[in-house]
Amino acid sequence: MRILITAGPTREYIDDVRYLSNASSGRMGYAVAQAALDAGHQVVLVTGPVDLIPPTGCDVRHVVTTAQMRDAAVSAFPNCDGVIAAAAVCDYTPLKRHSGKMTKTGGPISIELIETDDVLAQLGRDREHHWVVGFALEAENARENALQKLRAKNCDVVVLNSPQAIGADTNDVQLLGAAGETLAHWHGLKADIATELVRWIGQNLPLSGNR
């Protein structure tokens, strides 16, 4: 298979120096990319800014902003069998980006934020015969929120994990199906979970038939 994988955070700039982002390390997405390569698959890795070296053999597309990740993923998707969307994209962006560096005023400031484009939802709309695997990092009402994400974004399955996974070498995840069932529960090193996820996909999700 040829698999599109998104990984890492994105950044949304307030001015030319400061930005909004999150603490995603990209380790889970990079582990999935390595596991897919080890299983003999081709990988297109669309990655936000992280302190990791991409696995050797990936077709790597480096991006910074959510819009750039969307464009790179949408461009690569038609030539792939499916996507594993492990990236933790920034959900909000400033309505206005200031030029240069904003100076301190001695008082509070207000920044108006708007939602960024939803990368996974776009891929879900464009999926045709592709399969779509989403990731959901949830702190409250975790299972319910993850299932809402699965259905709203037209995923086949969603990988549910918690904020404790951020920056860690280990993870504890549930693989949830469209009917709300738990298809698998894995915990341990992210590399081992990635191997199990890629194996499950290879056994349960079909080739797209588009290539």
Q: How far, in Å, are 53, 87, 103, 104, 110 from residue 107 at the CA level?
A: 41, 35, 11, 8, 10
Q: Active-site residue numbers?
A: 22
**Which region, left, alpha or beta, applies to residue 57 given φ > 0 means left and ψ of -120 to 50 means alpha?**
left
Q: By C-alpha distance, which of 190, 102, 196, 118 is closest to 157?
A: 196
Work out the number of other CB atoms within 10 angstroms of the CB of residue 3.
Answer: 24
Report helix, strand or coil for 127.
coil
Q: By C-alpha distance, which of 38, 74, 78 is closest to 58?
A: 38
